[in-house]
Amino acid sequence: MSDNKMTATALNSLWIAILIIVFDQLTKFWAVSTLTFAEPVAVMPYLNWTLAYNDGAAFSFLAEMGGWQRWVFGGLALVVSTVLILWLRKLPKLLTVEVWGINLVLGGAVGNVIDRFLEGRVTDFIDFYIESWHYATFNVADMAITAGAILLLLSEFFLKPKKEKILKQADE
């Protein structure tokens, strides 16, 4: 086996994160260019496009804290992104559930950190609701982070133990 194959890592999968970042930024550009702030546009039952801005974290946590949270949440996202890239470097060059999960979280985190550093807030526009109850308005980056976290949990708590059990049985 050549040295290149031995040192190949899952960093080659960063195209997934890049696609998420591009799609997230394009949809946010569309929302800002097309929608009017806080005026819902019905898409289908239970779903509106509603332009909103989030100065805080998830569910507008700490949104009214004077602006320091922009830098704290932005910095935290950069630290998390660095950790995710280092994690990818340690994984083999395979498109596993774990690699997909890492890239989805990474792409979502970078998509939102771009907003934080450029605008001081995150642009949201997807408004899911049931009758008068509305979920927190979100964006493509938020969906990627959520899907990625679910994939990472699935990998860690279900797929890895199952693989380890199969390998252990094969050794016996």
Catalytic residues: 124, 142
- Residue 113 C-alpha from the chain's centroid: 11
Cβ(77)–Cβ(107) under 8 Å? no
Q: How far apart are CA 48 and CA 134, in angstroms?
A: 10
Q: Which tokens go with 43?
A: 């898409």
Cβ(17)–Cβ(23) under 8 Å? no
Q: Which tokens go with 123?
A: 């642009």
Q: Could you give the maximum distance between any two Cα atoms of the chain, in Å?
A: 64
Q: What angle, 0 to 180 degrees and rounded to 10, lies between the N-to-C axes of helices 14-34 and 97-119?
A: 40
